[in-house]
Amino acid sequence: MRSTVQLLNDVGDLLMSQIERVGVSLEKELLTAFDDLISSQGYQSRSEALRDLIRQQLSNQRLRNDKAQAVAAVVLVYDHHSTAIMERLTDLQHSHLLKTISSLHVHLGHHDCLEVIVLKGKVGEINRMADMLISIKGVKLGKVNLLPAGGL
């Protein structure tokens, strides 16, 4: 029977066999600035910070394709006293039911509400839907945050 330590070592060996080591040459000033940045962000190692930077760039590249699958959070701040805005937001979401995964409604004050609408679909379709939501009369602020579906 194998001990827990032996099993953990085997798992570690398997994970390490899937990792490629690479060398990177950087100017001292650039490396110092990078180390300061990743330290302030809580990274434990340069490797993890570099992996995240690479993932972010690959993600950005995928999101340039209007046909790529993605998920998005559309965040809106609006005056709920504005004429029929809540009904228009709901109607627009229901008319695109396959793309709307969820929504969250938060009261920020006497007049303002925050709506977070989670969408899934093709990048181009999500952007068109987000534009329609953000352009509704009474929406004060709007922003869309896209992530590629399926991960990296």
- List the pLDDT tens digit at each of the 152 positions of the chain: 566 666 666 656 655 567 888 888 999 999 999 999 999 999 999 999 999 999 999 999 999 999 999 999 999 999 887 767 778 777 777 776 558 888 899 999 988 999 999 999 999 999 998 998 899 888 999 999 999 997 65
At residue 13, the pLDDT reads: 60
At residue 28, the pLDDT reads: 96
* C-alpha distances out from residue 108 to 3, 16, 23, 78, 145, Å: 55, 48, 49, 10, 21
The rounded distance, in Å, linking the Cα atoms of 69 and 106 is: 28
At residue 140, the pLDDT reads: 93
* Sequence spans of domains, the chain: 28-64, 69-148
CATH topology of domain 69-148: Alpha-Beta Plaits (3.30.70)
Pair of tokens at residue 13 = 């060996």
CA 100 from chain center: how many Å?
16
For residue 147, the number of C-alpha atoms closer than 13 Å in the C-beta half-sphere is 11
Assess contact for 136 and 83: CB atoms under 8 A. Answer: no
